[in-house]
Structure 1
Amino acid sequence: MTTATDLSTPELSLAEQAYRALRDRLIMLDIAPGEPLNEGRLVTELGFGRTPLREAMKRLETDHLVTSFPRRGTFATRVDITELAAVSEVRQLLEPLAARKAAANVDPETRAALLQAREGIERLDHATPQRDVMALDLAVHRLVYRTAGNHHLEESLIRLDNLATRIWCVVVDRLPDVAGHIREHLGLLDAILEGDQERAETIAAEHVRHFDAAVRSVI
Structure 2
Amino acid sequence: MSKVMQKPSLLASHAEVAYNAIEEMIVTLELAPGESLTEQALCARLEMGRTPVREALLRLKHDYLLAVLPRQGILIKPIDTTTALEALDVRHHVEGLLIERATRLASESQRAEFLNMASQAEHSLAIRDNILFSRIDKRFNERVCEAANHDVAARAIMPLHAVSRRIGFFLAQVANYEPATTVQPHIEIMQSIAVNDGERALAALSKLHHLTRQQTLAIERDGLLHQ
With the shorter chain as reference, the TM-score category is 0.7 to 0.9
Aligned to 1:56: 56
Q: CA shift at 1:203, angstroms? A: 2.0
Aligned to 1:205: 206
Q: Contact 1:100–1:201 at 8 Å: present in 2 too?
A: yes
- Quick check: 180-189 or 155-164, which moved more? 180-189
Q: Deviations over 1:143-201 (max 9, x none)?
A: 22332112222232221111122233333333532034212223212221222223322
Q: CA shift at 1:99, angstroms? A: 0.8
Secondary structure class of the residue paired with 1:195:
coil
Which has the higher Rg, Structure 1 or Structure 2? 2
**Identity value in percent:** 25
Q: Distance in 2 between matches of 1:164 and 1:190?
A: 21
Aligned to 1:103: 103
Q: Distance in 2 between matches of 1:40 and 1:71?
A: 12
Q: Distance in 1 between matches of 2:139 and 2:59?
A: 20
Question: Mind listing any 5+ residue stretches in structure 2 that lack a counterpart?
Answer: 1-11, 221-227
TM-score in terms of structure 2 length: 0.81
Letter of the structure 2 residue corresponding to residue 43 of structure 1: C
Q: Contact 1:97–1:201 at 8 Å: present in 2 too?
A: no
Letter of the structure 1 residue corresponding to residue 41 of structure 2: R
Q: Does 1:158 align with 2:147?
A: no
Note the 1:4-83 alignment, pairs <5 A. 13-83=13-83
Q: Contact 1:133–1:179 at 8 Å: present in 2 too?
A: no
Q: CA shift at 1:126, angstroms? A: 4.5
Aligned to 1:93: 93
Q: CA shift at 1:80, angstroms? A: 0.9
Q: Distance in 2 between matches of 1:126 and 1:113?
A: 20
Question: Mind listing any 5+ residue stretches in structure 1 that lack a counterpart?
Answer: 1-11
Q: Which has the higher contact order (CA 8 A, sep 6+)?
A: 1
Size of the aligned set, in residue pairs, is 208
TM-score in terms of structure 1 length: 0.83
Q: For residues 70 and 186 of structure 1, do their structure 2 counterparts lie closer, same or farther at Cα, with a shift above 3 Å needed? A: closer
Letter of the structure 2 residue corresponding to residue 149 of structure 1: N
Normalized per residue, the structure richer in helix is 2
Aligned to 1:3: none
Q: For residues 137 and 198 of structure 1, do their structure 2 counterparts lie closer, same or farther at Cα, with a shift above 3 Å needed? A: same
Q: Distance in 2 between matches of 1:80 and 1:212?
A: 13
Letter of the structure 2 residue corresponding to residue 78 of structure 1: P
Q: Distance in 2 between matches of 1:176 and 1:43?
A: 34
Q: Distance in 2 between matches of 1:163 and 1:35?
A: 16
Q: Contact 2:39–2:74 at 8 Å: present in 1 too?
A: no
Q: Distance in 1 between matches of 2:96 and 2:169?
A: 23
